[in-house]
């Protein structure tokens, strides 16, 4: 791997702005074995989740077209912003809590970017092109043909992963239709599939570790989310320094356990030297631990010069304090939020009704002197079956209401917005207003009354 240059803001950039391509050396070891188990289990999970149904709906589906979000049996509509807010808040606080305890374990072990890059694309790359040492021995033509073969394989995988990603947004049934029918019948869908495939290919074939080091906001949040007791991948300076190559060591000098072999650097997928301390680019993949453990075994020193520990432990040798304020406060807030969320879900109304004013003139005075308010009534049916809704307006005779679509039938989990006209004599309006109540019911127990102000001339 190429050398890191002094003054670089990024480990993957040279002073002249050109890119240093990362070709990390694979380090076998106990952490890699565990990561493989977790990672391949996650790859299977990511692949099958779009096909898993809970309560008759996809377990996770962000149905952009229908503007609905399915989350393990719960359906969120655009009107459920409060519910969604509490759900997202609970998830974010959960991430904060896990980060406070286990550091960036998500980045190195759970994030699809790392899992696919390090356990799928990178191994395939090593298989086809060989590691950096073997690549240097290849003649130009062989190297070029292998590279094209690699890109072809990457493209096939990008197509599969791109469509799998899309299934979380459009559902696998719709995706299957797009894939099996002529592109001309679903030009929009075909375009989305092509763009998603292209983006996945671009990410894993070209952009790679820069997604973590340049784009991902989570990396930037870690300084706020971690504390000195959080679990990190760290180098034991007290034990390792003064680092010195084996040949340069003399009896009785101040050499530590680090033999400055750089095995931890050449294995790092983001190209950093963990001996420089905790860095934003460290995704906690633990490859440097496996690399250094192997060196320690070879030179007969105890493992763990680089290890999973807290900054506090590494600097003081004192045990890490697991119980601390943030580790207790986060779960307490999460439990409170989830309790409130369960309450909101349990008391959720089977329908939402909204009365909206017409966008143009709020009212018109007709030739006979009466005043007509033109409104829109939106009904969201939250139940699993079609429902028919009746409309009444208190203080307004039925003959004065024109609601052509009422009784209004709304499909399960669907919504309909329909026009309603209310025509009243001018003298009903006092100070330009007449207060009424819109009452909508479904005959099966749902009833709502919405206060509303009809407008007229002063």
- The string of DSSP codes covering 301-337 is --S-SEEEEEHHHHHH-PPP----HHHHHHHHHHHHH
Cα 220 to Cα 89, 225, 274, 453: the distances in Å are: 19, 10, 17, 49
430 burial via Cβ count (<10 Å: 0-12, 13-18, 19+): exposed
- Going by C-alpha positions, the residue among 279, 261, 141, 151 that lies closest to residue 212 is 279
Where does this chain touch ligand SF4 (CB under 6 A) — which range of 117-125, 173-181, 286-294, 378-386? 286-294
The nearest distance, CB 21 to ligand SF4, in angstroms, is: 16
Q: Which of 93, 193, 274, 314 binds ligand SF4 (CB under 6 A)?
A: 274
Using CB under 6 A as the binding rule, whether residue 14 contacts ligand SF4 is answered as no
Residues between 249 and 268 with contacts to ligand SF4, criterion CB under 6 A: 258-264, 267-268
Where does this chain touch ligand SF4 (CB under 6 A) — which range of 56-64, 133-141, 269-277, 444-452? 269-277
Sign of CA dihedral 168, 173, 176, 181: negative
Using CB under 6 A as the binding rule, whether residue 295 contacts ligand SF4 is answered as yes
CB atoms within 10 A of CB 286: 22
E strand or H helix at 447: strand 447-455
Contact 90, 337 (CB under 8 A): yes
The nearest distance, CB 17 to ligand SF4, in angstroms, is: 23
- Going by C-alpha positions, the residue among 357, 373, 355 that lies closest to residue 423 is 373
The nearest distance, CB 332 to ligand SF4, in angstroms, is: 31
Residues between 197 and 236 with contacts to ligand SF4, criterion CB under 6 A: 233, 235
Residues between 100 and 129 with contacts to ligand SF4, criterion CB under 6 A: none
- Going by C-alpha positions, the residue among 70, 142, 5, 98 that lies closest to residue 327 is 98
- Tell me how far apart the alpha carbons of residues 320 and 416 are, in angstroms, rounded to a whole number: 57
The nearest distance, CB 312 to ligand SF4, in angstroms, is: 18
Using CB under 6 A as the binding rule, whether residue 32 contacts ligand SF4 is answered as no
Q: Which of 305, 314, 379, 391 binds ligand SF4 (CB under 6 A)?
A: 305
Where does this chain touch ligand SF4 (CB under 6 A) — which range of 149-157, 281-289, 368-376, 390-398? 281-289
Q: Which of 286, 310, 311, 423 binds ligand SF4 (CB under 6 A)?
A: 286
# residues contacting ligand SF4 (CB under 6 A): 30
Using CB under 6 A as the binding rule, whether residue 270 contacts ligand SF4 is answered as yes
Of the pair 228, 239, the CB lying nearest ligand SF4 is at: 239
Contact 160, 201 (CB under 8 A): no
The nearest distance, CB 416 to ligand SF4, in angstroms, is: 52
Would you tell me which residues interact with ligand SF4 (CB under 6 A)? 233, 235, 240, 243, 258-264, 267-270, 272, 274-275, 282-288, 291-292, 295, 305-306
């Amino acid at each position: 791997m190429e050398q890191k240059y002094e003054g670089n803001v990024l480990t993957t950039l040279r002073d002249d702005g050109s890119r240093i391509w990362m070709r990390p050396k694979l380090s076998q070891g106990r952490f890699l074995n565990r990561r493989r188990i977790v990672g391949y289990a996650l790859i299977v999970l990511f692949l099958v989740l779009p096909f898993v149904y809970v309560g008759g709906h996809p377990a996770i589906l962000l149905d952009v077209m229908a503007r609905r979000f399915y989350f393990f049996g719960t359906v969120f509509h655009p009107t459920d912003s409060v519910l969604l807010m509490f759900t997202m808040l609970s998830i974010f606080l959960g991430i904060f809590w896990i980060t406070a305890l286990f550091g960036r374990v998500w980045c190195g072990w759970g994030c699809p970017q790392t899992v696919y890059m390090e356990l799928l694309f990178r191994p395939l790359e090593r298989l086809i092109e060989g590691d950096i040492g073997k690549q240097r021995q290849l003649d130009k033509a062989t190297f070029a043909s292998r590279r094209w073969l690699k890109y072809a394989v990457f493209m096939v995988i990008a197509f599969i992963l791109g469509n799998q990603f899309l299934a979380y947004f459009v559902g696998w049934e719709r995706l299957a239709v797009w894939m099996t029918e002529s592109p001309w019948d679903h030009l929009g869908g075909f375009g989305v599939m092509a763009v998603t495939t292209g983006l996945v290919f671009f990410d894993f074939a070209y952009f790679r570790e820069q997604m973590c080091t340049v784009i991902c906001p989570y990396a930037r949040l870690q300084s706020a989310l971690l504390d000195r007791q959080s679990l990190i991948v760290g180098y034991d300076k007290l034990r390792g320094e003064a680092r010195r190559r084996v040949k340069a060591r003399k009896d009785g000098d101040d050499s530590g356990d680090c033999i400055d072999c750089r095995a931890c650097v050449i294995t790092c997928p983001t190209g950093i030297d963990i001996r420089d301390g905790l860095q934003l680019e460290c995704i906690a993949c633990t490859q440097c631990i496996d690399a250094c453990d192997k060196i320690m075994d070879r030179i007969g020193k105890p493992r763990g010069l680089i290890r999973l520990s807290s900054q506090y432990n590494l600097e003081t040798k004192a045990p890490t304090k697991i119980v601390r304020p943030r580790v207790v406060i986060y779960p307490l807030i999460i439990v409170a939020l989830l309790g409130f969320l369960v309450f909101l879900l349990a008391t959720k109304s089977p329908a939402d009704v909204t009365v909206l004013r017409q966008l143009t003139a709020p009212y018109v005075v007709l030739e006979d002197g009466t005043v007509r308010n033109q409104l829109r009534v939106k009904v969201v049916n939250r139940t699993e079956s079609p429902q028919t809704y009746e409309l009444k307006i208190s203080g307004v005779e039925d003959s004065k209401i024109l609601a052509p679509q009422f009784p209004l039938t709304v499909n399960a989990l669907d919504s309909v917005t329909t026009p309603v006209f209310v025509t009243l004599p001018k003298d009903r309006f006092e100070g330009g207003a007449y207060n009424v109540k819109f009452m909508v019911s479904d005959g099966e127990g749902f009833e709502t009354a919405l206060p509303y102000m009809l407008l007229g001339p002063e």
